[in-house]
Structure 1
Amino acid sequence: MNYKVGKSSKGDLNEAVSEATLGLKAPKLILFFSNVEPFEEYSKKIKEKFQSSIIIGSTTFAGFCMDGAYKNSLMVMGIEDGIECYADILEEVDKYPLKYIDRVTKCVNNFRDKSNTICFEISTALISCEELVLSTLNSVLDEHKIPLFGGSAGDKGKAEKTMVSFNGIVYQNTCAFVIIKNLSGKITLYRENIYKKTAHYFTATKVDTRNRIVYEYDNKPAALVMAQALNTTVENLPKYLDSYPLGRIIGSDLYITANQMVTKNNGMSYHAKVYNNSKMVLLEPDDYKNVINETIATVKKEVPNPSLAIMVNCLARSMLFEADGYLNEFAKNMGNALGNYIGFAGYGEQLRDQHFNQTMVLAVFE
C-alpha cells in the first residue's frame, strides 16, 4: 500500500498545506485533522491542490502519528493505492440522517467484492447525533457485513465548535463517511478501555433517552445513587465525574459512558445514550500504561506487518494523558505497533453499532 502521513505546524496556511502534503501525487483518499481556527481554510486549500481525491477532514483536540501528538497543527494522510473507496455525507444528522440513506447504498453498491471492507465515519459533535448516524449507516452496512468505526469531531476540549469537511466543503450537523476496501489483506478493529469495574452495579429504571439523561437507578434518584457509590455527597459529585465514568453492559461487552453533569431533580446526563433497563457498572481508572502496552503487544501479534492504521483516541483520554505528561509518548508508543499511522481526538468513539466515550478505537490494515 502506497501512502504518506505528513504534518505541519507552520503559521502560514499555504506553507502548512505544502509541507503536510509533500510527496503526495494523486491520492485516492486524503484524511486530515486540524484545530478549529484554520480548518475551513485548510479544507479549501487541500481541495484546490487535489481536486480528484476524496477528502475527509475533522477538527480535533490533537493529531497523532508515529512521531508524536501535535496540537494546533495540520495532520494529513494520503493513500495513493492499495485501496478502493467511495464516500459521501449524511446531513441533518441530529434529526433526519435517514433521509440520506440512498447515499450509503450507492457507495456500497459500487463494490463488486465487499470482503476486507470497512466504513470510517466522522460526525460533528455536541449535538447528540451519533446513535442516529449509526442506525442509518448500519441499516445498509449490516446486510453487507461491512463493519463501521469512527469518531465524533473534536476541539480544544471546551465544547465550543466542531466541524467536518467533505471534498473541500465544511459542515456542521453532518457525518462524512468513506467505505474502504483493503486490496492487500484483512482489516482488524480494536477497542481499548483504560477503566475497570468497581463493585457498584445499577439498572437504569427511569430515562430520557433522547436527551441522554438518567433520572433513576434502581428506582432511586440517579445522582444520589452515584454519590453513595463514590462515598460522597451530590454537591461534591461533579469533581468525581471525569475520573469515574459508567460502563454500559451488553452481553459480555462493556462500553464506557462518560458523565456530563448532575441535572435538576438529581438526574445524571451523559455523553452517550443510556436505555431503559440498561445494566450499568461504576468504573474506576485502571493502570493505563499497562493496558496500552497490552494493546500494543496484541496488535503486534495479530497484525505483525500493518500497512496502514487509523486511530480515534477520545478527547478525555487525550486530556488525561496530556495532564500526566504522557500524550506525546503515547502517540510514539502506538507507532511501535502501527508503523506510520494517523489519529485524531474527538468527543466520542463509534464501533459497529455502538457509540461510547473515553475509549480508543483502531483500524489496522494488513
Structure 2
Amino acid sequence: MMNSKIYYSKNKNTKEAVKEIIEKIDQRDIKLVMFFASTTYDFEFVSKEFNNKFSDCEVTGTTTSGELCNTGFGDNGLLAISIASKEMKVKSILIEDGDKHPILYKDKIYGTMKEIGLNPSSLDISNKGFGIGLFNGLFNMEEKLLSVIYSVIKDSSFKILGGTAGDDLKFENTLISYKGKVINNGCVMTFVKTDAPFHIQKENIFTQSGITMTATKVDVRKRIIYEFNGRAAATEYARVLGIQENKLDKHFTINPLGRLIGDEVFIATPFQINSDKSITLYSQILPNAIVDVLELKDPEKCLHETLSEVKEKIPNLKLVIAFNCILRTLYFKEKKITGNLTNIFNEYVPSLCGFTSYGEQFGKMHVNQTLTILALGGIE
C-alpha cells in the first residue's frame, strides 16, 4: 500500500509556508519527501526545516522555474510531497562537484543501490525499481553525471527520470538539497525499490518534419555545433528551414533538433547563435550525428495520448511525478492553454506533483522541451 500527500503553498513567508506544508503532508511510514521551491523562498531554511521534521526518511528538494500539481501550472510557490509505504525502500545519494570528477562516486552509487536491495550488477532489476534525479543546471554536466551513474548499472533497461533545477528564469544559480545539505553543482539521485506497479514515460510535442542535417563540426562538452552539413551551423539551419538567418532564433523552440535513437526522438534545443555562426544548445549532440528538424504537434492532443497510454500501463494509477521543461511551460502560457492542460491532467491523474525544469532526464539521455513522468499505481 502506497499513500502520497501533496500540498502547494503560495504563502510568501518562508517559515509559515513550510509549517503549513509540514502539517498537510505529515503521515506514518513516510519513505520519501520531495519539495520544489521557487527562488522567492529561503531555500537553505526550507531544506533544513523539512529535514528536521522528516529526519527518518529521505528528503530531497530543488529550486524551480514553476511548480506543477493538480491546481495547475504555478509560479512563486512551494510544493511538497510525502510518499508513505511499508514495502517501498528508498535511498538517495548526493553527488557534489559534478562538473569535475563524478566518477569518484561510482562505489557510493553501487553501495546506495545495494543498500535497498537493487543489485547494480544484475541484468534484471528494471522491473524492481527506478531512479529519480534532481540535477543542478547551468554547468552542462547532466550527460556526464548520467554516464557515471549508468556505468555502475549493468541492466541497461533500468530507468532513471529527472529534472534540472531552475531559478525562476534568472539563469544565475540553481540549488538542490539532500537531507538539509544544499549544493549548486551536482545532483541528488534517489533510488527506489518497490513491488507496486510503476511506469516511466516521456512526452514531446514535436514530430519529424522530414528535414535532416548532419552535425559535421561539434564541441560536445560545450554543447556547441559549429557546422551542419559542412556549412556554418546558423546559415545551414536557416537554409533548410527556408527562412532568413536573422529570424532563426525565433524558430529554436518551434523547430528544435531531434536525435533519433531506435524509434524514439530525443530533443536538443538550440540556446543561442554565437558570433561565428555556431549554435550553442541546451543538450549535447555528438559529432556526425544526423539530426531531425522537428515541427510542432497539438499539445493538448499529445497530453491526452500520453496519459491514456500511462493509464493503460498503470490502470490503478495513484500518483504522477512530473518534470516539465521551461520552454514547454512558456509556450503553453503564450498560447493560453495551461488551464486546458491542467484539466487533462486531472482527468487521468488523481495526484500530480512536479516542477518546471531547465532540462529533463530520461534513461541515459539528457533532453529538452520534454515532459518526463513517473507513474505509480496501487497494488491490486
TM-score w.r.t. length of structure 2: 0.92
Task: Report the equivalent of 1:77.
Answer: 81
2:188 to 170, 176, 179: 176
Alignment of 1:21-170 (within 5 A): 21=22, 22-26=24-28, 27-38=30-41, 39-81=43-85, 82-112=87-117, 114=125, 115-143=127-155, 146-170=158-182
Is the 2:300–2:340 contact (alpha carbons within 8 Å) kept by the matching residues of 1? no
| Aligned partner letter, 1:263 | N
Give, in angstroms, the shift of residue 134 of structure 1: 0.5
Matched residue of 1:249: which SS?
A: strand
* Other structure's SS at 1:236 match: helix
**Once the 2 structures are TM-superposed, how far is the Cα of residue 365 of structure 1 from its aligned partner?**
1.5
Runs of 4 or more off by more than 6 Å in structure 1? none
What is residue 312 of structure 1 aligned with on the other side?
323
**Does structure 2 conserve the Cα–Cα contact (< 8 Å) formed by 1:59 and 1:153?**
yes
CA spacing shift, 1:112–1:241, aligned 2, 3 Å: closer
SS of alignment partner, residue 213 of structure 2:
strand
Correspondence for 2:276: 265
Identity between Structure 1 and Structure 2 (%): 29
Question: Aligned letter for 1:53?
Answer: C
Shift of 1:356: 0.8
Which sections of structure 1, spanning at least 5 residues, go unmatched? none
Residue identity matched to 1:179: F
Structure 2 segments unaligned to the other structure (5+ residues): 119-124
Report if aligned partners of 2:7, 2:25 keep a CA contact under 8 Å in 1: no
> Does the 8 Å CA contact 2:197/2:314 hold for their aligned counterparts?
no
CA contact (8 A) 1:28 1:85 kept: yes
Deviates more, 1:163-172 or 1:134-143: 134-143
Which AA in structure 2 matches 1:126?
L
In structure 1, the residue corresponding to 2:131 is in which secondary structure?
Answer: strand
Is the CA contact 1:207–1:213 (under 8 Å) kept in the aligned structure 2?
A: yes
1:233 aligns with 2:244: yes
Question: Is residue 312–residue 346 contact of structure 1 (8 Å, CA) maintained in 2?
Answer: yes
RMSD: 1.7
Q: Is the 8 A contact 1:36 1:163 kept in 2?
A: no
Greater CA deviation, 100-109 or 349-358? 100-109
Q: Which one-letter code corresponds to 1:264 in the other structure?
A: S
Cα pair 2:138 2:171 within 8 Å, conserved: yes
Pair 23,289 (structure 1): closer, same or farther in 2 beyond 3 Å: closer
- Per the alignment, in what secondary structure is the counterpart of residue 153 of structure 2? helix
- Aligned position for 2:351: 340
1:290 Cα deviation from its structure 2 partner? 1.1
Q: String of CA shifts for 1:17-50, please: whole Å, max 9, x gaps.
A: 1222224135221010011131222112212222
Encode CA deviations 1:167-204: one digit per residue, 9 max, x unaligned: 11211001001101223x22211110101221311111
Provide closer, same or farther for how the CA distance between residues 155 and 23 of structure 1 changes in structure 2, counting only shifts above 3 A: closer
- Per mean C-alpha deviation after superposition, the further-off stretch among 300-309 and 187-196 is 300-309
Q: Secondary structure of the equivalent of 1:28? A: strand
* Cross-structure match for 2:288: 277
Cα 1:216/1:289, change in 2 over 3 Å? same
**Comparing 15-24 with 185-194, which one deviates more in the overlay?**
15-24
Alpha-carbon spacing, 1:261–1:214, altered in 2? closer, same or farther (3 Å) = same
Distance across 1 between alignment mates of 2:162 and 2:47: 20
**Match of 2:250, SS?**
helix
